[in-house]
Structure 1
């Protein structure tokens, strides 16, 4: 049995940088990956989807060129999906190979490929691709196994071919009619991507509005912008039964007391993600999970078994790549720099990469109300933003929640061109305890989108 100072299970955006930091301290570190180095972000998530979304945006810009006085000889856009997929694959390979090199260049890192399972509190068995099983042990073990697509129990679903957010990235033909189960971030990003590539997309969302964690007015703006592009969106609609032939899928959906059937050629399941904890055989440790399989951790990411930690999507909480990365920083600083950092005190920004983007930070209006804060809402349509008017990108709005007594910013939602970048400006303002009044009076370069932050907070004077 080979002994290490640390074992990291999973090579995602938390595991890889943690492994390198530990190795640079001279700690013998094992990193175990059952599939591809880089985890979901590089291989199936952020990198490939944003690469393809960029292509879809280019197609949409060409279609809408006339609004800028640019006229094309052809009347339609020709999409080369194999080229788009190959471009995506090259970028993914570039990122993955860079990560592999960074790990292999550290002499104190050993990479093991295979499926990991605990055989004891400090022991991990690895079933390798050739079915050979080896066992290693370490004092500290870090779990970074991520999450996978939830496949809902819908009658008939197991009997038809369906796509996930992973498999749809490698299809060779554009689906003529794509039905998307799930109206949250992944479903909407993928839906708009394929709508712009030439599919007709229908979104099926059981909740009363898209993106259940967002305010209703934010969801309404997103719904309208997607419908304007030709997507069909069914909210308050629960999938009830699905059937299919070689060329057609039929999905029964129930909305209240009414029932209807919609048809399509392809189905994408985007109904959420589950933690990949089942294969770990945690019963051989003192590590506990909740009813959904998420590994339970304290505010410093230690599990119920001392010396075993969890980071990224396998634990409860926000499931974002940047949170997984921040998890590794928190762990390293607490364990090796004697810090007392807590996941409870960090900011949680995120962005949905539809076009235009939705950037979010802090509390929503509903969350602020639920917490009992006295607050004011600043709101400014993108059609009132000079830069947006000049560039023809007026879809969306800016919204900020401001504490009525302290004038501090509690949260913001930005739907618009470069919405994530504008949100990041507000995030830094929140980190620096700047007030809405200070931002209203701050000098921004003209005519940036960020300059509209002045006008956003001027709306509080009305």
Structure 2
């Protein structure tokens, strides 16, 4: 059994920088990865999808360019070229991460699948054959999540797609049916609609992105339906049937009615599950919750001293930037002697539909539940000079502020560069800058963020 100071299971957005930092600090370190270096973000998530979203936006701009005086009479979507560009970008990011690990002194890279054999012991089934036995006082789990596959009659017979396998398509689906009307499903839905697919979104809840406020959901629904994306809410697929010609029939129940929808491809985007089932956590004594997520304390340590969980596998906000922040907390606490926790850290996020959705802090509905005394500012993008000038007035800016302290408690922005505008407000929240100061702040003209002046003009002092 080979002895290490630290072992990281999973080379995701927390595991990779943590492994490098631990090794550079003088600890003999190993990182274990069963698939690709870089984790979901680089290989199946942010990097490939946002690369393809850029292609989809270009197709959309070609279709709607006439009002700006540029008429594009004919264009085509070259899916193999889009896929190749995506693959090239992914490989660049992945290879960069791998080379960074390879040149780090004191760090071993093991490509294989790890399973606990004891509290601080692991067995690694190597991808190229053989087994290695490892042991360390510090073990960090960064194995992430995978697509949750619902139990639907006939689903296993139709060759369904996940957010991973859909990235390998080199042709545009004729009709893509998506199960799940949340962030992943909507990004892919709009993307493939712009590539030329007919798209149907099936959502169990009463509205899409149901974790957001009703006005946010309604706004996004309006814009997606304007692109002729079919959205069925309060609905569930109860069965699939596939004909010999490859066409698929989905049986969809909406309240008390049932209908049949024919499609060519099905994307499962109804949630994700932690990759913990093969880790043998019971052998280590590590506790998990009823959904399989690893339970951690506010410093990301499990119930077993010296074993930590970072990123999506521990539950909570499932974002790359949260996983990265997990790494910074754990590393600084262990190596630099700090006492950082995950308590009260900001959780900004974006949905990269078009228009973008950027969100940080609490919204109006959450403020009401908490019985906070707040004021709400809202500004349609139709009143934003930059939006008018660029010809895209979809969406709105919205902020919730404390009525007494005037501090910003949360912000939601739907619109072109929505995430960037949201980030300006996040920086104000981090620095304690009150809304009345932003109201009269000098921003460069004409930026989208300049209209934060006007957003807060709408609040009466």
TM-score by length of 2: 0.98
SS of aligned partner of 1:344: coil
**144-153 vs 396-405, which moves further:** 396-405
Q: State the 1:367 CA deviation.
A: 1.3
Q: 1:194-248 CA distances to partner (integer Å, 9 max, x unpaired)?
A: 0000001111010011112100100110011011011000111122112122332
Looking at structure 2, the residues matched to 337 and 147 of structure 1 have their Cα atoms a distance apart, in angstroms, of: 30
SS of aligned partner of 1:415: strand
Question: Which residue pairs with 2:193 in the alignment?
Answer: 195
Q: State the 1:370 CA deviation.
A: 1.2
Q: 1:321-373 CA distances to partner (integer Å, 9 max, x unpaired)?
A: 00000000000111111211111121000000011100000012221111111
Looking at structure 2, the residues matched to 398 and 239 of structure 1 have their Cα atoms a distance apart, in angstroms, of: 35
Structure 1 gap ranges (5+): none
Question: Which residue pairs with 1:336 in the alignment?
Answer: 335
1:111 and 2:98 aligned: no
Give the alignment of 1:156-305 within 5 angstroms.
156-245=154-243, 246-305=245-304
Question: Which residue pairs with 1:319 in the alignment?
Answer: 318
Question: Which residue pairs with 1:445 in the alignment?
Answer: 444
Give the alignment of 1:348-427 within 5 angstroms.
348-427=347-426
Q: State the 1:461 CA deviation.
A: 2.6
SS of aligned partner of 2:375: strand
- Given that 2:199 and 2:229 are in contact with CA atoms closer than 8 Å, whether structure 1 keeps it comes out as yes
Looking at structure 2, the residues matched to 27 and 336 of structure 1 have their Cα atoms a distance apart, in angstroms, of: 10
Give the alignment of 1:16-31 within 5 angstroms.
16-31=16-31
Report the count of equivalent residues.
460
SS of aligned partner of 2:192: helix
Q: 1:150-182 CA distances to partner (integer Å, 9 max, x unpaired)?
A: 000111111211000110111121001000000
Give the alignment of 1:33-112 within 5 angstroms.
33-74=33-74, 77-112=75-110
CA-based RMSD of the aligned residues comes to 1.0
- Given that 2:24 and 2:105 are in contact with CA atoms closer than 8 Å, whether structure 1 keeps it comes out as no
Q: 1:283-310 CA distances to partner (integer Å, 9 max, x unpaired)?
A: 1012100010000000000001110000
Looking at structure 2, the residues matched to 124 and 216 of structure 1 have their Cα atoms a distance apart, in angstroms, of: 47
Q: State the 1:130 CA deviation.
A: 3.7
SS of aligned partner of 2:253: strand
Q: State the 1:410 CA deviation.
A: 0.9
Looking at structure 1, the residues matched to 349 and 72 of structure 2 have their Cα atoms a distance apart, in angstroms, of: 37
TM-score by length of 1: 0.98
SS of aligned partner of 2:278: helix
Structure 2 gap ranges (5+): none
SS of aligned partner of 1:111: strand
Q: State the 1:73 CA deviation.
A: 4.1
Looking at structure 2, the residues matched to 130 and 20 of structure 1 have their Cα atoms a distance apart, in angstroms, of: 24
Looking at structure 1, the residues matched to 8 and 178 of structure 2 have their Cα atoms a distance apart, in angstroms, of: 35
The runs of 4+ residues in structure 1 deviating greater than 2 Å are none
> Quick one: structure 1 residues 430 and 144, their matched pair in 2 at CA, closer, same or farther if it must change by over 3 Å?
same
Looking at structure 2, the residues matched to 405 and 251 of structure 1 have their Cα atoms a distance apart, in angstroms, of: 53
Q: 1:410-447 CA distances to partner (integer Å, 9 max, x unpaired)?
A: 11110000000000000000001111111111111111
Q: State the 1:460 CA deviation.
A: 1.4
